[in-house]
Amino acid sequence: KNEVEQSPQNLTAQEGEFITINCSYSVGISALHWLQQHPGGGIVSLFMLSSGKKKHGRLIATINIQEKHSSLHITASHPRDSAVYICAESSLRDDKIIFGKGTRLHILP
């Protein structure tokens, strides 16, 4: 069983919609990561957070340590946001990252 669960697995939305992707994890973490992977495979690190909330442009990431849950929000979504969004945790046990399976987001123009 993957220790990092994401939902939904796939999401299609219209341009302009507010997008939420959820992530749940089961073990104590030192940090929670949100990554973006475009077709072609390159990965970009969007956020790393251990508490509270972070914002970068139209992207917002939140984390609730007590509930072991994080969300990634995209405001005013755009077709160029279409990508796979991956949640990952850095475990307290070691420095290695455990990845979720990703959420495939498709924004229609």
Helix/strand/coil (H, E, C) string of 34-66?
A: EEEECCCCCEEEEEEECCEEEEECCEEEEEECC
Contact residue for other proteins among 17, 22, 24, 31 (CB under 8 A):
31
Least Å from the CB of residue 76 to other proteins: 26
Contact residue for other proteins among 11, 19, 23, 35 (CB under 8 A):
35
b/e per residue 13-23 (b: at least 16 CB within 10 A): beeeeebebeb
Residue number with CB closer to other proteins (44 or 76): 44
Per CB under 8 A, residues contacting other proteins are: 2, 30-31, 33, 35, 40-45, 48, 86, 90, 95-97, 99-102
